[in-house]
Structure 1
Amino acid sequence: MTRLTVLVPAATVPLVVLAALLGPPSPDAAPTLPVPVSAAVVPPGPPSPDRPGRLRSAAVLDLGLTTANIRSGEHPMPQPDVVDDVAAVAAATPDGGALLLQEIIPARYRAAVRERFRDREIVAIRTTSVPIVVPRGWTVRGSGHVLVHRGRPDAGPDRFVSWAVVRPGGSGTTGAVALLNTHFVHAAWNGRPDRWDPWRKDRWRAHHVVVERIVASFVARGIPVLGGGDFNRTVRRGLRPFHPDQRWLHSDGGIDKLFWVPAGGADVSVDARDLTPLHSDHDARTVRLRLVLPTG
């Protein structure tokens, strides 16, 4: 298994560096962006041809997927509430599915997640606030994260994108899926500007560019993407898809969303959508998916 950690140097690197790594810029790109000087942001491996609609054989899998912001930041919750919320999102996610968690910052929050999912692999929990709980029985083929930008004491914490390339065990499939989790800077689009508003908007736009290019990198290699997180912007207020083929899987008008980008002939359908109330100031969003992956 390959793990790739991409950290940001102290200096700001021009956006052209990221463009060279990950493709042409978005029209919504910020003028500058702290980025790593690295050869890649996806785990290495041979490309897979993108052959939608041309599968010779396929495995059909049921998968639950949840995104949940477990509030910490300036107003961390009492530990019993943290434990309750982690238990609630575990119970809400069917079939031992994948969980995308945000604001897992204090050590006691990480401890609660590790304890609840001690029989599961958890990606990026030690080094980011956006860990991924891998579906039960699935194997991790590669993982990594990007520190998109540093936070400010009065404008929010560091912001990350994490991912894991996973493959279901025992299904006979040769296909893999990229799970992607992220949490954008808050209050950039809430209609209540403060002195940090230009900084927030600049970092939010830059963050969108990073996610666009990570998604594009996976799709170019024939790896579909199941992503989500807290985007701190609604579709109504201008949240755009990260890829031309993207579909929102759970978009009820809020800022917490799940999405799918097909590649390699894989496809997905949504059997059900659920909301789970939490002690946190966010409800958890869950989808029950029927996932089709190639077997040959």
Structure 2
Amino acid sequence: MITTITLNPAVDVRYNLDYFALDQSHRCADYQKTAGGKGLNVSRVLKILGHEIQATGFLGGGSGEFIAGELKKLDIDNRFVQIDQETRTCIAILSEGPVQTEILEAGPEIGQKYAAEFMERYVHLLKDATVICASGSLPRGLPEDYYCLLIRKAHEKKIKFILDTSGAALKKAIAHRPFLIKPNRAELEDLCGKACAGEKELVEQALALHQAGAENVVVSLGAEGAIYLNAQGAYKASVPEISCRNPVGSGDAMIAGFAHAVTNKMSLEDSLRFACACGIANAMEAETGKINCAVMDELRRQIRVVAIY
């Protein structure tokens, strides 16, 4: 059983427009509303890959009810803590280019009562978990070291903890030895406090994060592929050019790919190839957190992985 954690979920609303400009009214006939938040995107892809999922975090209000309904449709075990505030809404506007504009609500503030209730539930869920995937920002009210607490609990049960977050929450968590982290270039530069001009600098900074505690460091580079570094060395994945329909959730699909790879004991090279194929397959779909497995398998054959360090 894979456990996904989405502490700050959202109802994601996406508007697809041919043209978008500020200070104008736009009528949109092409739009989608989905259960969002990075961990829920991970959950959907893992379900497509055939895994049993237990999903947890915080849900509240009408938006929370919508997400709970979507989880039921997908046959994902809903283990969220119910709170007395409204789950946030996040809006993405896709227009020609493609250009993507996002409006992200901050979301509810989690008090000590709900934080304690979540921790109790999390410890219970660890009994059935083989891999933990924790994704996204921390909601207001939780301390910056909250992921550190979750990692420690997972270590006590010898469960691998995959973490996809950013900023102070990620910086604090690295020393607690997460199994895998996946910063993109901008997040890596923010963590290290310096720009990475080329591949050499990217590898150096990924190595610094590995030495600081992260067992596996994946740097996602979008159309340029990804770099994967651990104690065995560093590898670069080069990916095929595609027609991108919707990039939202591609990093989450990569996380799902890595969780699948861990569960199936894939080699480092095959893990990177599989995860990148999941990310690209997501970008080829209109719906967030969705992949076509046949397309993904074909992409795997086109992805080149080479040792670079």
TM-score, with length taken from structure 1: 0.31
Greater helix content: 2
**Which of 1 and 2 has higher RCO (CA within 8 Å, sep 6+)?**
1
TM-score, with length taken from structure 2: 0.30
